[in-house]
Structure 1
Protein backbone atom coordinates (compact mmCIF):
# COMPACT_ATOMS: atom_id res chain seq x y z
CA UNK A 1 0.00 0.00 0.00
CA UNK A 2 1.47 3.34 -1.03
CA UNK A 3 1.55 6.26 1.35
CA UNK A 4 -0.53 9.20 0.27
CA UNK A 5 -0.60 12.60 1.86
CA UNK A 6 -4.18 13.58 2.71
CA UNK A 7 -3.38 17.22 3.45
CA UNK A 8 -0.18 18.26 1.67
CA UNK A 9 -0.23 21.67 3.38
CA UNK A 10 0.19 19.98 6.76
CA UNK A 11 3.57 18.43 5.92
CA UNK A 12 5.55 21.60 6.62
CA UNK A 13 3.69 22.25 9.87
CA UNK A 14 4.27 18.72 11.11
CA UNK A 15 7.97 18.97 10.30
CA UNK A 16 8.15 22.23 12.26
CA UNK A 17 6.33 20.65 15.22
CA UNK A 18 8.64 17.60 15.10
CA UNK A 19 11.75 19.76 15.20
CA UNK A 20 10.32 21.94 17.97
CA UNK A 21 9.43 18.95 20.15
CA UNK A 22 12.75 17.22 19.47
CA UNK A 23 14.75 20.27 20.50
CA UNK A 24 12.65 20.78 23.64
CA UNK A 25 13.14 17.21 24.86
CA UNK A 26 16.79 17.01 23.79
CA UNK A 27 16.59 14.62 20.85
CA UNK A 28 19.12 15.60 18.16
CA UNK A 29 17.00 15.40 14.97
CA UNK A 30 18.80 16.20 11.74
CA UNK A 31 18.80 15.09 8.09
CA UNK A 32 19.80 11.52 8.98
CA UNK A 33 18.18 10.02 12.08
CA UNK A 34 19.27 6.38 11.73
CA UNK A 35 21.50 6.62 14.77
CA UNK A 36 18.62 7.53 17.10
CA UNK A 37 17.00 4.88 19.26
CA UNK A 38 13.39 3.82 18.88
CA UNK A 39 12.78 5.24 22.34
CA UNK A 40 14.02 8.69 21.29
CA UNK A 41 11.93 8.73 18.12
CA UNK A 42 8.91 7.43 20.02
CA UNK A 43 9.29 10.16 22.61
CA UNK A 44 9.12 12.80 19.90
CA UNK A 45 6.14 11.17 18.18
CA UNK A 46 4.29 10.66 21.46
CA UNK A 47 4.75 14.27 22.49
CA UNK A 48 3.58 15.43 19.06
CA UNK A 49 0.38 13.40 19.42
CA UNK A 50 -0.22 14.75 22.94
CA UNK A 51 0.08 18.32 21.69
CA UNK A 52 -2.16 17.73 18.67
CA UNK A 53 -4.84 16.11 20.84
CA UNK A 54 -4.62 18.95 23.36
CA UNK A 55 -4.97 21.51 20.56
CA UNK A 56 -7.96 19.67 19.09
CA UNK A 57 -9.67 19.36 22.47
CA UNK A 58 -9.28 23.08 23.09
CA UNK A 59 -11.25 23.82 19.90
CA UNK A 60 -14.30 21.69 20.74
Structure 2
Protein backbone atom coordinates (compact mmCIF):
# COMPACT_ATOMS: atom_id res chain seq x y z
CA UNK A 1 0.00 0.00 0.00
CA UNK A 2 1.38 3.41 -0.97
CA UNK A 3 1.93 6.02 1.68
CA UNK A 4 1.98 9.77 1.17
CA UNK A 5 4.09 10.29 4.30
CA UNK A 6 7.34 11.97 3.32
CA UNK A 7 10.58 10.89 4.96
CA UNK A 8 11.65 14.55 4.84
CA UNK A 9 8.51 16.68 5.35
CA UNK A 10 10.36 19.81 4.21
CA UNK A 11 10.61 18.25 0.74
CA UNK A 12 6.87 18.67 0.14
CA UNK A 13 7.16 22.15 -1.37
CA UNK A 14 10.09 21.13 -3.58
CA UNK A 15 8.16 18.10 -4.87
CA UNK A 16 5.14 20.28 -5.66
CA UNK A 17 7.36 22.68 -7.58
CA UNK A 18 8.88 19.76 -9.47
CA UNK A 19 5.41 18.45 -10.33
CA UNK A 20 4.34 21.79 -11.81
CA UNK A 21 7.67 22.18 -13.66
CA UNK A 22 7.41 18.73 -15.24
CA UNK A 23 3.75 19.25 -16.17
CA UNK A 24 4.60 22.55 -17.84
CA UNK A 25 7.45 20.91 -19.80
CA UNK A 26 5.00 18.25 -21.00
CA UNK A 27 2.38 20.86 -21.89
CA UNK A 28 -0.08 19.61 -19.26
CA UNK A 29 -2.10 22.20 -17.33
CA UNK A 30 -2.40 21.56 -13.58
CA UNK A 31 -4.82 23.42 -11.34
CA UNK A 32 -3.05 25.70 -8.85
CA UNK A 33 -5.64 24.86 -6.17
CA UNK A 34 -4.49 21.23 -6.12
CA UNK A 35 -7.62 19.65 -7.63
CA UNK A 36 -6.78 17.81 -10.83
CA UNK A 37 -9.82 15.56 -11.17
CA UNK A 38 -10.01 16.33 -14.87
CA UNK A 39 -6.49 15.00 -15.46
CA UNK A 40 -6.42 11.80 -17.50
CA UNK A 41 -4.65 8.73 -16.20
CA UNK A 42 -2.32 8.93 -19.20
CA UNK A 43 -1.23 12.48 -18.35
CA UNK A 44 -0.90 11.72 -14.63
CA UNK A 45 1.34 8.77 -15.54
CA UNK A 46 3.45 10.93 -17.83
CA UNK A 47 3.98 13.44 -15.03
CA UNK A 48 4.74 10.74 -12.43
CA UNK A 49 7.13 8.89 -14.73
CA UNK A 50 8.99 12.07 -15.62
CA UNK A 51 9.29 13.03 -11.95
CA UNK A 52 10.65 9.57 -11.12
CA UNK A 53 13.21 9.79 -13.94
CA UNK A 54 14.31 13.22 -12.76
CA UNK A 55 14.64 12.10 -9.12
CA UNK A 56 16.70 9.06 -10.18
CA UNK A 57 18.99 11.35 -12.20
CA UNK A 58 19.43 13.63 -9.18
CA UNK A 59 20.23 10.64 -6.95
CA UNK A 60 22.73 9.24 -9.46
CA UNK A 61 24.50 12.60 -9.68
CA UNK A 62 24.72 12.86 -5.91
CA UNK A 63 26.17 9.33 -5.73
CA UNK A 64 28.92 10.06 -8.20
CA UNK A 65 27.37 10.21 -11.61
CA UNK A 66 26.13 6.74 -12.41
CA UNK A 67 24.02 3.91 -11.10
CA UNK A 68 26.51 1.44 -12.58
CA UNK A 69 28.48 1.63 -9.33
CA UNK A 70 25.66 -0.39 -7.70
CA UNK A 71 25.55 -3.21 -10.23
TM-score by length of 2: 0.76
| CA–CA separation in structure 2 for the residues paired with 1:58 and 1:5 | 22
Query: Which structure 2 segments of 5+ residues have no match?
Result: 64-71
Q: Based on CA coordinates, which of the two structures has the bigger radius of gyration?
A: 2
Q: More relative contact order in 1 or in 2 (CA 8 Å, sep 6+)?
A: 1
TM-align CA RMSD = 1.6
Runs of 4+, deviation exceeding 6 Å:
none
Aligned residue-pair number: 60
TM-score by length of 1: 0.88
